[in-house]
Chain A
């Protein structure tokens, strides 16, 4: 670089003409007056420039008259200084810190840091400030409401799945790749302390992401942690907050009224439905109401007493019991302390964090984090960086929540009482009939009751995780604009958990009782599972080594600039783990008992034999990864940039031929900085830039094996003593790659005074050979479906990000931040011939494969209302006649074209809008998010599941009961015997499809910054207190059934409860 500058200077010397002056000076921080090394200085309108030295000094040997000096430094507001030459004394240029400048200037891909103005790809950055508007122990959950082009899909996965620009693969891993400080992050993202995060960059298009290879198919999140800076005095930052979380709203769950449920049980009892269960030799549990009905039928309970007992049960709602006896308000605290500083030769930061939370169910979790980072410049051309990240987490399990106490099959009768009027724990029927438990073994067995209010104290789980991440980097500046960059990272995660079910726990008592053998002659009891507690322990360790060697090149000559990187990376990770169970465990003496797992023993319930479960396992996983990558960007006149990148990846995919392991990817891009064109003179819009990229990525399914692979079981066969193995993957040699090409067009703009700035991006992706499930003739013996290349698609969308200073009057300012995304796709080609309508209707949407329709389409059976005579659901046959031959309505005669098409099953428009009002030290931010233009299928009563599993739905109360009801309801009448086809038809019908559109109030945060009184020496630079409210619920929804479209999958899926946080931020 320096040689080149010298060359430049020489060139300038040679220029004849005007008067030339020598200019020297120094650039410093306005706040601290410390020097700013590495700031760039440019003579406006020329290519002449220089950089400041370590002490902030600079010099221009020759400057013409009337020159204007442009001074730029990352994180500081740029300045233009008209020079009056000759100078009488060296210039002192003081730059003001500017957080927005920092956000807009550079983006990080994890491989390189690029000035955004030269990036051709689609990068969207979320700053630390924006992340700080929310409170919570992890980073990822905060992104949902603030990142552009990102949404969380809760329509196909109840736990929520981060999605960047729609789904790009169906079968492969669907979560975006998370990169922390240059390397893919293998650990639990929840262990990252958000207070250590400087920014998050989202890589959205193929050009931005292609550098990460195959793993980038779902987008990349690059998390950059805070770093120290050279020449910076010690700075201390402190942040602490306390959060209270409300109890969850259990009444959101579609539970049936207890009275209704008992009515159904009475009806089923009268029809003999429970006969087989009541006669069953394995003694499956039946609910208290069924026991009462049975006792009445056998004459052991008088009809009056039975009626009175049932009437009492009708009054109980188990949600009251959970709310009263188990749920509390949650409480969490967060503390973080950060130090940073730097001299001319080093820059460092130390971050400490402590989090603790007590959940609504008294589960605790604590996390201690330490983050130390240091960059050293021992020689002029050498930079050494090291970082250490340490996190320690501890957690203990809490009480059982709603949906976690079950009688059988994961379901609980809705009139369960957990405590009596005095608050004493009551037993809940579990696993076996209560009447059997009370009489089994003539009272010589252990108490067999299950007390949900007490049991959690006897079955406590404890977990501990430790994570260490160590980074070392070496950067050596070679001549000719070359840099050699070597990075190494070591990651280690260790986890240990144990669940101690003590002798009083239900789990231990149940197993001991189940395998108690009673000698019929002598009555002697022997215990095949020793009495005492049971200890389950598991441990896991993951270690990963990554090394990357990279050459960076950056060179400017004349009007040309070339930036390029090329390198290779290898990565090896190994995970080992084991889990084991000890029976008859006594923590006081550390003794445990012996169990024979090789012989089947008769169980006391039925006398049938079974093996005692060993619950022991070992794990050994390894991942190996090799890649070669390179990219280059050429800029001409600071206006035109051309970029290209390519990468090849290989990993240790098993059972795949060596040639199939390598996955090539490439991308190319262009950008045009229009505002820099000489003809551009639009002062209103001083910043305007156009970008275009195209890239190609592929995805290979893990199941694409040329040969079948098998997995060994952890335990030997109890029968023959030999090892056992089952198929992991069936040979599927015809499966090809999934390929996606993506075009991205972007426009970045900034109006004068930064009143409005932002970007608009249009993208179009073309997917070929997308994976989908193909129904398989299961005569082949490998199941009923197989992954295949099913369809081709095109998708297009628009991402808009806008920052505006909407209003500014004196100390009052109103700023707005808008993220708006639109997405539409359609299937262009479908390779499977399957057109049967019922194959396009499922509870969770898959690739629907209808040409011209969205990739994730919602179809339903056309609805002809309820039969006025019987309340049976009716549909339309293809010829338009209403009917209720369900097998035909869902059979081969009804094609997908005969179904009702509603629209996309994933949002076609989504985004968020944040408004910040500030007045002097006061600031108030509120952010809403929205998802629009899609449909979801709500759940309703499913009579087969109600009878068989006790699966409830409150729609039962609205069912058709008498002629005329069909005018007010679509809920079918109760039918017995169960007709699963009738239930399936209703579940897939038009009647249950709702618009998913909704607007949510994500958070509101208010803060007050204590002013620094002028002249007074305050002990802090900045002191601010804030109040944040999160999970505030929906502002609007299109459905009128009170459903939150993000929380409708599953019977116990509740929206998160509101949180209130109060905090303090300070820096010294």
Chain B
């Protein structure tokens, strides 16, 4: 008996003696993993709703594609929502849950992936996937840095960019590292560096419209250089995109009886992103299309019927989403034709510019009705292109960027809104074009607020 007991006790204490660690290494939840393999990192990047569908929309809310009725403005749930609409310049973001927060979440994921890749050897066997994962992480980081710069920094101006306040460029995952605002120059340098490296690593074939590929990075570079006013680079990158993906959707083929006539994942879509925010001002039931914008479409221009739905009271709602009804904020070939056209026009290459514009427009007009536009010189070409850009990229989360950069180029656009009898204006190049940082972020981080 005693002998058996001895054996039993020995077997009981075996785990203690033989090291509990293997016993304790069992995972508490099979779904839990310390991200380390390429599969894990790709799984993090596969969170499409976080990585692709969380583009901040405060810029589009501040822009002039739409207006709110007084009643709908008053019905906005938060005072910050109402402030943003009238360019209050302060207290426009509710604490904690806001565009700033949404914009930096994907950056953390990208940084996690990049940090883990540093300790994951790239081998001949895994090189394709390794490059792909790294390219995606850089693409997403660059994309969200760009979104941040477009909202919270002033328009890029090479003369002042080194002194202007940019955004904090968080390049690691340690949350104890304080946030510091980089200059606008440093911000755009980082965006360009991330996207260029991404372009070199991403595959040339696309798996799905939600997965970035090489063209996606080139498209964002084209957009970035356009925002910076570097038209040569913009033309170059737009051209590389259109070399690989150039299809346009013939609007004559669309079913106008559908709620959203433009199909999701249509051939123009390069990479799908959706805009997202807590402010509901852009909901279809609230945002009414600017009457002057609506009136600018010719009767034969199919976009008038494809993009807009009458509200029944003389006003119109937008239904031209490239995302099955969701607010599309990704890249598509139509934008790239317009970028290349604009860049050519600005560089003085009028025929190339007009060719791109007409290639696009012919698919937008009722078949057989489109008469190609002509321009006598670069100014006229640019005027055509900018007018058509305005009409093509409605509520695509691009107008705020355009207002900033066009005013920098001297377009002299003054925005004006009337709410309950009071007129609010936003003059060109007003400091409020750089939206204020959320107050709690300023209080917690000590970063300087944007000047007013």
B427 within 8 A of A: no
**Inter-subunit contact A623/B325 (CB<8 Å):** no
Q: Does A616 touch B at the CB level, under 8 Å? A: no
Known: A382-B1, A549-B12, A658-B21. A777 touches B445 (CB 8 A): yes
A272 surroundings in chain B (CB, below 8 A)? 69-72, 74-75
Contact of A778 (CB < 8 Å), options: B33, B96, B174, B311 = B96
Interface set, chain A 31-89, CB cutoff 8 A to B:
none
Q: Is A609 an interface residue (CB 8 A)?
A: yes
Partner of A717, one of B31, B48, B76, B325: B48
Q: Report if B346 contacts A (CB, 8 A).
A: no
- Contacting B at CB under 8 A, from A555-598, are 568, 570, 572
Q: Which residues of B contact A114 (CB under 8 A)?
A: none
In angstroms, how far is the closest chain A Cβ from the Cβ of B96? 4
* Structural contact, B12 and A547, CB atoms closer than 8 A: yes
Question: What distance in Å separates the Cβ of B316 from its nearest Cβ neighbour in chain A?
Answer: 12
Tell me if B108 counts as interface (CB < 8 A to partner A): yes
A779 touches B445 (CB 8 A): yes
Report the bound CA distance from A17 to B208 in whole Å. 105
Query: How far, in angstroms, from A272 to B9 measured CA to CA in the complex?
Result: 78
Q: At the interface, yes or no: A308 with Cβ under 8 Å from chain B?
A: no
Question: C-beta contact mask, A695-708 vs B, less than 8 Å → 1, else 0?
Answer: 00000000000011
Contacts of B8 in A (CB 8 A): 486, 549
Q: Are A608 and B82 in contact (CB under 8 A)?
A: no
Q: In this assembly, does B120 line the interface, its C-beta being within 8 Å of a C-beta of chain A?
A: no
Instruction: From known contacts A600-B264, A724-B47, infer whether A976 and B74 are also in contact, taking CB-CB under 8 Å.
Output: yes
| A-side interface mostly | mixed
Q: Is the CB of A655 within 8 A of B34?
A: yes
Bound form: Cα–Cα A27–B255 in Å: 99
In whole angstroms, how far apart are the Cα atoms of A948 and B259 in the complex?
Answer: 27
Cβ contacts under 8 Å, A251 to chain B: none
Nearest-CB residue, chain B, relative to A780: B175
Total residues of chain A contacting the partner, CB 8 A: 86
Q: Residue of A at shortest CB range from B48?
A: A719
Q: Per-residue 0/1 for A710-746: is the Cβ within 8 Å of any B Cβ (1 yes, 0 no)?
A: 1111100101101111111011001000000000000
Give the complex CA separation of A278 and B33 in angstroms: 46
Interface size, chain B (Cβ < 8 Å): 92
- Whether a CB of chain A sits under 8 angstroms from the CB of B210 is yes
Chain B residues with CB under 8 Å of A658's CB are 21, 24
- Chain A residues in 8 Å Cβ range of B25: 652
- The distance from the CB of B277 to the nearest CB of chain A, in whole angstroms, is 15
Counting CB contacts under 8 A, is A844 at the interface? no
Q: How far is the CB of B175 from chain A (nearest CB, A)?
A: 4
Q: Least Cβ distance of B64 to chain A in Å? A: 20
Query: Are B170 and A780 in touch, CB under 8 angstroms?
Result: yes
Q: How far is the CA of A731 from the CA of B108 in the complex (A)?
A: 12
State the CA gap A723–B31 with chains docked (Å).
Answer: 11
Restricting to B26-55, which residues have a CB under 8 Å from any CB of A?
Answer: 26-35, 39-40, 42-44, 46-48, 50
Mask: chain A, 766-785; 1 = CB below 8 Å from B; 0 = not: 00000000011111111110
Whole-angstrom distance between the alpha carbons of A947 and B78 in the complex? 12
Q: Which residue of B lies closest to A706 (CB)?
A: B34
How far, in whole Å, are A547 and B96 apart by their CA atoms in the complex?
Answer: 48
From 220 to 260 in chain B, residues with beta carbon under 8 angstroms from any chain A beta carbon are 255, 257-260
Are A724 and B104 within 8 A (Cβ)?
A: no
Residues of A within 8 A of B27 (CB): 622, 652, 654
For the complex, give the distance between the alpha carbons of A948 and B173 in Å. 37
- Report B226 CB to chain A, min CB distance, Å: 27
Contacts of B449 in A (CB 8 A): none
A271 in contact with B260 given A626-B24, A719-B210, A778-B441 (CB within 8 Å): no
A734 to B174, CA, bound (A): 11
A275 to B287, CA, bound (A): 12
Q: Which residue of B lies closest to A284 (CB)?
A: B285
Q: Mark A366-393, 1 if CB is under 8 A from B, else 0.
A: 0000000000000000100000000000
Please tell me if B91 contacts chain A, counting CB pairs below 8 Å.
yes
Contacts of B211 on A, CB cut-off 8 Å? 719-720
- Pair B210/A775 contact, Cβ less than 8 Å: no
Does A756 sit at the interface, judged by CB under 8 A? no
Query: Does A92 interact with chain B (Cβ within 8 Å)?
Result: no
Check if A887 is an interface residue, CB within 8 A of chain B. yes
Is A977's CB under 8 angstroms from B82's CB? yes
With known contacts A568-B13, A661-B24, A275–B210 Cβ distance under 8 A? no
Please name the residue on chain A nearest to B78 by beta carbon.
Answer: A980
Q: Flag whether A979 is at the interface (Cβ < 8 A).
A: yes
Q: Are B28 and A273 in contact (CB under 8 A)?
A: no
Q: How would residues 604 to 616 of chain A score, 1 for a CB under 8 Å from any chain B CB and 0 otherwise?
A: 0011110000000
Interface contact B178-A777, CB-CB below 8 Å: yes
Inter-subunit contact B30/A276 (CB<8 Å):
no
B75 adjacent to A276 (CB under 8 Å): yes
Q: How far is the CA of A277 from the CA of B264 in the complex (A)?
A: 25
Which residues A269-303 have CB closer than 8 A to chain B?
271-273, 275-281
In the assembled complex, the CB of B29 is this many whole angstroms from the nearest CB of chain A, namely 5
B176 within 8 A of A: yes
Given contacts A726-B47, A944-B77, contact A607 B258 (CB under 8 A): yes
| B contact residues around A710 at 8 Å (CB) | 32-35, 40, 43-44
In this complex, what residue of B is CB-closest to A622?
A: B26
B444 close to A (CB within 8 Å): yes
- Complex Cα distance, B443 from A978, in Å, reads 26
Question: What distance in Å separates the Cβ of B56 from its nearest Cβ neighbour in chain A?
Answer: 13
Contact call B23/A626, Cβ cutoff below 8 A: yes
- Are A720 and B46 CB-contacts (below 8 A) given A776-B444, A977-B76, A980-B78? yes
Answer yes or no: B207 CB below 8 A from chain A CBs.
yes
- Complex: A658 Cα to B30 Cα, angstroms: 19
B434 an interface residue at 8 Å Cβ cutoff?
Answer: no
Contact A711 B31 (CB under 8 A): yes
A620 contacts B by Cβ under 8 Å: yes
- Given the known inter-chain contacts A602-B324, A780-B179, please indicate yes or no for A708 contacting B100, CB distance below 8 A: no
B210: chain A residues at CB < 8 Å are 719-720
Task: Report which of B71, B105, B208, B280 forms a contact with A271, defined as CB distance below 8 A.
Answer: B71
A476, B3: Cα distance in complex, Å = 12
Q: How far is the CA of A188 from the CA of B255 in the complex (A)?
A: 57
Q: In whole angstroms, what is the CA distance A970 to B283 when docked?
A: 37
Determine if A810 is an interface residue (Cβ-Cβ < 8 Å).
Answer: no
A621 touching B285, Cβ below 8 Å:
no
**Once the chains are docked, how many angstroms separate the CA of A726 from the CA of B44?**
6
B329 within 8 Å of A by Cβ? no
Expressed in whole angstroms, the minimum distance between the Cβ of A538 and any Cβ of chain B is: 16
Are B33 and A709 closer than 8 Å at their CB atoms? yes
Which residues of chain A are within 8 angstroms of B283 by Cβ–Cβ distance? 276, 280
Say yes or no: is B15 at the interface (Cβ < 8 Å to chain A). yes
- Kindly state the separation between the CA atoms of A1022 and B9 in the bound complex, as whole angstroms: 46
Chain A residues positioned under 8 Å from B285 (CB to CB):
275-281
The interface residues of chain A lying within 8 Å CB-to-CB of B393 are: none
Selected from A654, A725, A947, A948, the residue in CB contact (under 8 A) with B35 is: A725
B376 interfacial by beta-carbon distance below 8 Å: no
A726 proximity list for chain B (CB < 8 A): 44, 47, 50
* CB-nearest residue of chain A to B263: A609
A651–B24 Cα gap in the complex (Å)? 6
* CB nearest to B50 among chain A residues: A726
User: Bound state CA distance, A711 and B27, in angstroms?
Assistant: 12
Instruction: For B105, give the chain A residue with the smallest CB separation.
Output: A781
9 pairs of A and B residues whose beta carbons are closest in the complex: A607-B259, A272-B71, A781-B108, A608-B325, A620-B30, A609-B324, A780-B175, A725-B43, A280-B285
Please, could you name 23 A-B residue pairs with CB atoms under 8 Å apart, sorted by A?
Answer: A271-B71, A272-B74, A273-B75, A279-B311, A281-B259, A486-B9, A570-B12, A608-B324, A608-B325, A620-B29, A621-B30, A651-B24, A652-B24, A654-B34, A710-B40, A712-B33, A719-B46, A719-B48, A726-B50, A776-B175, A780-B175, A780-B179, A782-B175
20 extra interface residue pairs, beta carbon distance < 8 Å, beyond A608-B259, A608-B326, A779-B170: A276-B286, A278-B285, A281-B325, A549-B13, A602-B258, A608-B260, A608-B325, A621-B28, A623-B28, A710-B32, A712-B31, A712-B33, A719-B48, A720-B48, A720-B208, A723-B46, A726-B47, A777-B178, A781-B106, A977-B82
